[in-house]
Structure 1
Amino acid sequence: MRSWIWTLVLFVAAVALALVLREHGGNVLIIAQPWRIELSLSLAVVLALVAFLALHWLLRALNWLGSSPGRLRAWRGRRAQRRDVELLERGWINVLEGHYVQAEKDLSNLMSRTRSADRKVLAGLSAARALHLLGETARRDQALRLAQEGAGQDARLRQAVDTVTAEMYLDQNRAEEALALLEPLQDASARFLHGTRLLLRAHRQLGHADRVYELTRLLLRRGALDETQARQFIRESTAQRLAQVEESGWNAVWGDLSADERLDSDVALAGAQARARLGQPAESARILEASLGRRLDDRLLRLYAQCDAAQAGQRLGHAELWLKSNPDHPGLLAALGQICLAAQLWGQGEHYLERSLALRADTHIHALLGNLHDALGHPDQALRNWRLACQAADTDVPVISRLLPAADTRGDPRFEETDAVDEPAPPSAPHAVSGVYVQGETDADAIPVAAPAPEPPASTPLASGSASAEDDYFDTAPIPGVDMSQTSDHGAR
């Protein structure tokens, strides 16, 4: 469209010039000794325009010829850049598709051929990523070193290299080395959000609960971390902080939590345990009651049930209020039974524990019933419940119901016949006190268990002045430092 407009403008200018020159019929005289040139005005104007255009195109041609080396260099640079970009794109596509071997080849080729520092660093980091995913750590570290050298003193490229290196170290649980690279990148404004996330990951691996809590709060405020994941990190770090908190630092830790976070089961459990450890059971109970009022949790109920007789009445009242809205909660019934045991309300405690046992049989409830019957003086029932508690704790333990017979050692060559001359013959099926039957076996199929060998009789002291005793002693006693097996009688006496 523009060409048509310019053509129209030229035609209009030509027509206007022709009309103007038509009205001016003058001549132009050019005297250059010995020549005298006379031209009409119209022809002189046309020749001037043609000369101007010819000179213009001549100068442009000379300029084009003079700039040919620069244009050639620029063309070569564009061709190299296009080739580098194609290699970089193909390498990254292979990395994303999982073709790490081919990706590493393309990126290594690019790193060795390119003259651009940026593309060299990008190729090195991409090749290191491919080698990292292949598990070739030595070659990956070499690629990272080349990328570090290519970055030179460029702060932006060095930051990229340190970030990628730290992320790979974190994948290998080398948190301390990653932390050394990431700490200098963390500025006061925390604008480097990806680096902050990597810092959070490193501190989580090292178990630095305070830093995990601070960084999680920071990322959550900036919207750089998923809220569900952030809540989980806050719960974990807060539980670790509360496990180590002292009385002087309690307000700083607990006061920084929101009301909803304090009601979380994990946080409430850690806070109640910390208060109990600091010797404040009433505060511990209040924390548990607030959380249990929102949702019943078996861990909180077990901790709430651990109290002395002075606190049992108040806790029993709260637990019975929860029971009205949760009448069939086995954990709550077990906690009520344990609180009744602390208050020595045996009948009520047995009632709650039996109700809980009907809903769910586990080690805790059987153990509580065993303790109750033991306190009431019912050893048989207590022993039965303790056995059931052991079975509930480990279902792989075989159930033993009757005794196994002892092994018959009459044919054992280790026992000398002289040892049993005066002893009565053993019964056909002797029973050892410690022998047991495995459930489901018959007497005929029972596997005998070898009884322990009888201990040798204790030596009696020799009577003073008894020659026969002394002879017998010195005749049978081994001689120190002499191997009796090498003698002619092989040590037999």
Structure 2
Amino acid sequence: MRTWLWTLLLVVVAVCVAVVLRQHPGNVLLMISPWRVEMSLTMALLSLVALFVVLYVVLRLLGWLLAIPDRMRAWSGRRAQARDQELVEQGWIGLLEGRYAQAEKGFIKLHSQTRSVTRRVLAALSAARAAHQMGEYARRDQMLEAAQAGAGADAPLQEAVASVTADLLLAQGQAQKALDALAPLQDGGARHLHTLRLLLRAEKALDHHDQVFALTRSLLRRHAIDKAEALQLIDQSGAARLRSGMGDGSWRGVWKELKSEERMLPNVALAAAAALDETGEGNEAARVLEAAIGDKFNPTLVSVYAHCQADQVPRRLARAETWLQQRPADAGLLMALGLLCLNGQLWGQAERYLQRSLSRRDDPQCHALLGRLYDRLNRPQDAMRHWRLATEARVALPVLAADTVLPPAETQADPDPYHAQSAYDLPSVAPRTLPAEPEPLPVPPAVDYVIEPNAREHLERVRPADEPPAVVPPRSAINIEDFFDSAPIPAAAFEAPVTQAGEEGATPSGASPGHHPHHPHIEKKG
């Protein structure tokens, strides 16, 4: 549009000049010694315009020729910038897609070939982030050091390097190193939102409750953190500050520092109530808990509210009954009322509240309270039943099978010991009448048993003359079970005849004294 306007303006000017020259004819005389040039006014004006155009073209051409080196440098810079931009785009696309090795390779190439300080630092930080994602912490630290060296004295680049370093160290779980990396930003007064969030993460990981409390308040005031998350952090850090100050009494200063909204947070209220109870201020502790429960009903607060001294029971019981009107089916509140009645020795009301609580929820603590109540009322059976139910509700006890007991054995028809030793007794033989106290059998001397009768003679023949005879260990050292399936045969058994069926002292045919029917190859030696 601008071109058309200028063209129209030039046409108008040319027309005007032509009209003026037509109405005012004249000559122009140029005296250039030794020349004298005379021409019309129109010709002179046209010559001036042509001379201007020629000079303009010549000067522009000369300027274009002289600017060739600058244009080449600019072209090279634009080409390098486009190449760097392409590497940056490809690297970040790979980083966002999760191709960390490819992204790190591109960023390292960018860092080595770019001539821009800013892009060099950016490439080093991006490569460090890619190496961190792959768990290559040594390469990550090298790239962070390169970025720190490239940043120099540039404050924005130093802040970027510190923020990225702290973020990666926090992701690795090294909160103290992250806090050290953020120290220059704190000293320099850099308090932008990202730095505050990183500081909050580091202080929270290190359990620095005072710093967490202050940073959370600052972020909440600037609407840089979700309110629910901020209140949770304030609740935890404020309660920790109160508990840490209970030893020297500094918790009162912390309590005064808290806002009214912060005092009604659950953990803060619990910590403050514990501190007040420790100093004997039970009424003030009750008011703190009542305010917190009234703001937001919390079963833990109600349970703590029910643990009190006997002189506090009437006041707390009346307040808890007002809560019961709003929540008549709350099992935890009913159990808390039962506990208050137990503390106040109101046995009937305690039993009713606890029974109502059990009818809505089977709770082991409620069973234990009922067991304590019935034990106090001298009802041991009910007390034991509820204590057993409390144990079963708390511990997963196994289901035991019913006991199986074998019937007693019939021993009337069993043979006596003497008949049991005979291998030829028949079931039809009536048992003998034994003496009241049989005489004990004599203990046989230690004997040596061999498997073959001629084994000893063979050993004596093959033994060298100079070799001493083998020492037979005592009988107690020989494990006879290694050789036989039955016990050793006593010496008396070799002399006594074997009893046949129905006879005493008879010897079976084919048997001789000293020969055992079950072990025909065994011979007594010695």
TM-score, with length taken from structure 1: 0.76
> Quick one: distance in 2 between partners of 1:148 and 1:353?
67
Q: How does 1:405-444 map to 2 (within 5 A)?
A: none
> Quick one: distance in 1 between partners of 2:306 and 2:188?
47
Q: Deviations over 1:359-398 (max 9, x none)?
A: 1111211111122222233333323222221211123x21
In the superposition, relative to structure 1, how do residues 334 and 14 fare at CA in structure 2: closer, same or farther (>3 Å)?
Answer: closer
Q: Deviations over 1:92-124 (max 9, x none)?
A: 233233333332232222112111011111122
**Partner in structure 2 of residue 307 of structure 1:** 308
1:31 positional shift: 4.4
**Partner in structure 1 of residue 122 of structure 2:** 122
**Partner in structure 1 of residue 268 of structure 2:** 267
* Structure 2 residues without counterparts, runs of 5 or longer: 407-470, 479-526
Structure 1 residue 67 and structure 2 residue 38: aligned? no
**Partner in structure 1 of residue 380 of structure 2:** 379
**Partner in structure 2 of residue 9 of structure 1:** 9
In the superposition, relative to structure 1, how do residues 37 and 296 fare at CA in structure 2: closer, same or farther (>3 Å)?
Answer: closer
The one-letter code matched in structure 2 to 1:384 is R
1:405 positional shift: 7.6
SS in 1 for 2:133: helix
**Partner in structure 2 of residue 338 of structure 1:** 339
> Quick one: distance in 1 between partners of 2:326 and 2:59?
99
SS in 1 for 2:29: strand
SS in 2 for 1:255: helix
**Partner in structure 1 of residue 176 of structure 2:** 176
SS in 2 for 1:349: helix
SS in 1 for 2:321: helix
1:304 positional shift: 1.7
> Quick one: distance in 2 between partners of 1:114 and 1:266?
55
**Partner in structure 2 of residue 136 of structure 1:** 136
Q: Deviations over 1:287-325 (max 9, x none)?
A: 222223344422122212222322223322222232233
In the superposition, relative to structure 1, how do residues 179 and 489 fare at CA in structure 2: closer, same or farther (>3 Å)?
Answer: farther
TM-score, with length taken from structure 2: 0.72
1:3 positional shift: 2.6
In the superposition, relative to structure 1, how do residues 38 and 260 fare at CA in structure 2: closer, same or farther (>3 Å)?
Answer: closer
> Quick one: distance in 2 between partners of 1:147 and 1:405?
82
**Partner in structure 2 of residue 18 of structure 1:** 18
**Partner in structure 2 of residue 389 of structure 1:** 390
> Quick one: distance in 1 between partners of 2:325 and 2:238?
32
Q: Deviations over 1:195-234 (max 9, x none)?
A: 0111011111111111111111111111111112111111
The one-letter code matched in structure 1 to 2:351 is E
The one-letter code matched in structure 2 to 1:77 is G
In the superposition, relative to structure 1, how do residues 404 and 128 fare at CA in structure 2: closer, same or farther (>3 Å)?
Answer: farther
CA contact (8 A) 1:28 1:44 kept: no
In the superposition, relative to structure 1, how do residues 322 and 17 fare at CA in structure 2: closer, same or farther (>3 Å)?
Answer: closer
Q: Select between 368-377 and 70-79 the one with higher mean Cα deviation.
A: 368-377
CA contact (8 A) 2:28 2:38 kept: yes
Give percent identity, aligned residues only. Answer: 50
SS in 2 for 1:224: coil
* Structure 1 residues without counterparts, runs of 5 or longer: 407-485
**Partner in structure 2 of residue 364 of structure 1:** 365
Q: Deviations over 1:159-200 (max 9, x none)?
A: 100101101111112111111121331368764111011101
1:129 positional shift: 1.9
Question: CA RMSD, aligned part only?
Answer: 2.8
CA contact (8 A) 1:216 1:233 kept: yes
SS in 2 for 1:143: helix
